[in-house]
Amino acid sequence: MRVTNADVIIVGAGPTGLMLAGELRLAGAAPLVLERGPGLRETQKANGLGGQILELLRYRGLLDRFEAACTGPVHPAPRFPFGGVHVDLSPLADPPLWGLTLPQPRLERLLDERARELGADIRRGHEVAGVTQDDDTVTADVRGPDGPYRVTARYLVGCDGPRSRVRDSAGIPFSGITHPEVNRLAQVTVPESVPRFDNGDLDVPGLGRVRAAEFTRTDRGVFGLGWLTPEVAMVYTTEDETTEYDDDMPMTLPEFQDSVARVLGVSFPVAEVLRLSRFTFQARQADRYREGRILLAGDAAHLFPSTGVALNAGMLDTVNLAWKLAADLHGWAPTGLLDTYHDERHRAGARTLLHTQAQVALRRGQDPAADALRELFVELFADEQPLRRLGALIAGADIRYPLPNPNQHAMTGTFAPDLTLRTDQGTTSVAELLHTARPVLLVLGDRQDLHETARDWRHRVDVHTATTDHRPADALLIRPDAHVAWAATTDEPTDTAAPALRDALSTWFGTPLRTTVPTGRP
Ligand SMILES: Cc1cc2nc3c(=O)[nH]c(=O)nc-3n(C[C@H](O)[C@H](O)[C@H](O)COP(=O)(O)OP(=O)(O)OC[C@H]3O[C@@H](n4cnc5c(N)ncnc54)[C@H](O)[C@@H]3O)c2cc1C
């Protein structure tokens, strides 16, 4: 049997595996992606991408490219269903949540192109049949087009979706529940003969007025109608059902019409079908994201029982993981660095589970108490503060990672804001500095002491001096995943700032070039 080697084996070329491949290449590692499907997928799953991953793509200089591939509005009206309650972010001048209309096949094509441009080896038609590991390596048994072979690597990441074989091989439990409900979604045009009111409500034959942007609840389920564009309607049903569907088995129009007929008692008038999809909901999270040399990311690590958040969570997992894996492969990772992947992203996944589970309670309750709860949420979301908080929660932007050696600065552990920066070379921004995914020390005050401290990490950390309006800190140490590892408070004395910076640099970026200092443990 042939045996080949790689730095990191990635199992699965869905959005998670492809994003990870690109990020690993940026960090200087050589990933091998093994995908069992023969080519790029055309299955209709997500219709768009939203949340903090869009900011991250902007920080990588990729957002324009993703926007150019959109099939609909680039920043659709920030109105979305939150557990049976329509939430409207449009009153906010700078909504914390926005999205791209980017169907998943297009997203996967873009991520595939990007990973290949950066030099990733992506093999399609190669199924991973089993995974084993010892202290030094991990081995995948692969069934390829030319027969079976074996690949060994230092690490393997299971990006192989909800039924992850990698997760099972590693013996990692996938705790949680399956909700007994099936959701069906159709994007259609409606025959001109069907009367339409100014606000988008429809006069459906045999039923009467069906309200747009509201959920109609019947004894058999929930029906929703909304307008994606003035011509294209989004029609939606939810029914209690325990059937296990395969996400890769497309839904047909008769299946959808049968569902509408069960819920509403009539069929829905359709002129043209643009897209049909069906999804079920599970609330599950892998107990551990790492078992030795095997790691999990994306749907293999978590499943959320509400829509619109899974891609964001999975792709952000990979941004957190890639530079840590590369640091380990390059031999400079401080002790414990790779374990922070579980600590940080498991926490982020749990937070996403929190609000998606809450949405299930809001969505599925059928009694007057549940109606009252929904009404109360509508009232709360009329106010700016709860609306902002909810938007940030859904975007995954309210996470503060539990960093070691926490200092008092409120920015540590949070996503670095995109400050506009004035430097001797001209104007730039935090986003531009992170295009290359290298760590950055951004000195914003007149702090020669901090420059001096960072000098011995210059081979690993880019140091920039700049001024900015409303300086939030004297200096920010920013990790490749755009999170702030450390910050100096304004005018912080050298005797606290310099040792704290040295400690943070050692904790995240290893030993310095010259001096020997105690290495912090993440
Ligand atoms: C109808 C529908 C609508 C959705 N809408 C949204 C939405 O609006 N927003 C959102 O964020 N998310 C949405 N999702 C969820 C989103 O599609 C998933 O979260 C996303 O596909 C997960 O990506 P992944 O790469 O982690 O896993 P997957 O997309 O499942 O990819 C896993 C890959 O691994 C491969 N693989 C599996 N086993 C092996 C093996 N043994 N060897 C080699 N390869 C293997 C598979 O072939 C597959 O290509 C939707 C899902 C569905 C079904």
Instruction: Please report, in tens digits, the pLDDT of each residue of the chain (522 residues total).
Output: 676 788 999 999 999 999 999 999 999 999 999 999 999 998 878 889 999 999 999 999 999 999 999 987 777 666 778 987 888 888 888 888 989 989 999 999 999 999 999 999 999 999 999 999 999 999 999 999 999 999 999 999 999 999 999 999 999 999 999 988 899 999 999 999 999 999 999 998 888 998 887 888 888 998 999 888 889 999 999 999 888 887 777 899 999 999 999 999 998 899 999 989 898 899 999 999 999 999 999 999 999 999 899 999 999 999 999 999 999 999 999 999 999 999 999 999 999 999 999 999 998 888 899 999 999 999 999 999 999 999 999 999 999 998 776 566 899 999 999 999 999 999 999 999 999 999 999 999 889 999 999 999 999 999 999 999 999 999 999 999 999 999 999 999 999 999 999 999 999 999 998 754 444 444
Residue 307 beta carbon below 6 angstroms from any ligand 1 atom: yes
Handedness of CA 189, 193, 199, 201 (dihedral sign): negative
Reduced to 3 states (helix: H, G, I; strand: E, B; else coil), residue 245 is coil
> How much distance in Å is there from the Cα of 359 to the middle of ligand 1?
21
Q: Copy the structure tokens of residue 233.
A: 């309607």
| pLDDT recorded at residue 235 | 93
Residue 178 beta carbon below 6 angstroms from any ligand 1 atom: no
Handedness of CA 45, 50, 56, 61 (dihedral sign): positive
Q: Whole-angstrom Cα distance, residue 18 to residue 120?
A: 9
> How much distance in Å is there from the Cα of 170 to the middle of ligand 1?
20
| pLDDT recorded at residue 515 | 56
Q: Which atom belonging to ligand 1 lies closest to the Cα atom of 247?
A: 53
Q: Which atom belonging to ligand 1 lies closest to the Cα atom of 164?
A: 38
- Helices marked H in 182-224 — which ranges? none
> How much distance in Å is there from the Cα of 129 to the middle of ligand 1?
19
> How much distance in Å is there from the Cα of 11 to the middle of ligand 1?
12
Task: Please write the tens of the pLDDT for every residue from 430-483.
Answer: 999 999 999 999 999 889 999 999 999 999 999 999 999 999 999 999 999 999
Question: Would you list the DSSP string of 253-268?
Answer: HHHHHHHHHHHHSSPP
Q: Whole-angstrom Cα distance, residue 464 to residue 237?
A: 53
> How much distance in Å is there from the Cα of 144 to the middle of ligand 1?
21
> How much distance in Å is there from the Cα of 392 to the middle of ligand 1?
24
Residue 37 beta carbon below 6 angstroms from any ligand 1 atom: yes
Contact at 8 Å (CB) between 421 and 434?
Answer: no
Residue 201 beta carbon below 6 angstroms from any ligand 1 atom: no
Nearest Cα residue to 416 out of 319, 473, 466, 482 = 482
Nearest Cα residue to 273 out of 245, 237, 235 = 235
Residue 35 beta carbon below 6 angstroms from any ligand 1 atom: yes
Q: What is the CA radius of gyration of the chain?
A: 25
Hey, whose CA ends up nearest to atom 14 of ligand 1? Answer: 46
Tell whether pTM > 0.85: yes
> How much distance in Å is there from the Cα of 475 to the middle of ligand 1?
39
Contact at 8 Å (CB) between 285 and 176?
Answer: yes
- The DSSP output letter for 455 is G
β-pair type (202-204, 208-210): antiparallel
Q: Whole-angstrom Cα distance, residue 141 to residue 3?
A: 9
Contact at 8 Å (CB) between 330 and 338?
Answer: no
Q: How far out from the chain centre does Cα 219 lie?
A: 35
Hey, whose CA ends up nearest to atom 45 of ligand 1? Answer: 12
Residue 14 beta carbon below 6 angstroms from any ligand 1 atom: yes
| pLDDT recorded at residue 518 | 46
Residue 349 beta carbon below 6 angstroms from any ligand 1 atom: no
> How much distance in Å is there from the Cα of 186 to the middle of ligand 1?
19
Residue 17 beta carbon below 6 angstroms from any ligand 1 atom: yes
Q: Whole-angstrom Cα distance, residue 103 to residue 407?
A: 42
The preferred substitution site among 307, 317, 355 for testing ligand 1, maximizing ligand atoms within 8 Å of CB, is 307
Residue 128 beta carbon below 6 angstroms from any ligand 1 atom: yes
Residue 309 beta carbon below 6 angstroms from any ligand 1 atom: yes
- The DSSP output letter for 173 is -
Q: Whole-angstrom Cα distance, residue 211 to residue 213?
A: 7
> How much distance in Å is there from the Cα of 213 to the middle of ligand 1?
28
| pLDDT recorded at residue 307 | 87
Residue 317 beta carbon below 6 angstroms from any ligand 1 atom: no
Q: Whole-angstrom Cα distance, residue 438 to residue 225?
A: 46
Residue 99 beta carbon below 6 angstroms from any ligand 1 atom: no
β-pair type (272-286, 174-189): antiparallel
> How much distance in Å is there from the Cα of 14 to the middle of ligand 1?
6
Q: Whole-angstrom Cα distance, residue 82 to residue 227?
A: 17
Ranges assigned E (strand) in 112-162 = 121-124, 127-133, 138-144, 147-158
Residue 102 beta carbon below 6 angstroms from any ligand 1 atom: no
Q: Which atom belonging to ligand 1 lies closest to the Cα atom of 16?
A: 25
Residue with tokens 């309607």, as numbered in its chain: 233
| pLDDT recorded at residue 291 | 98
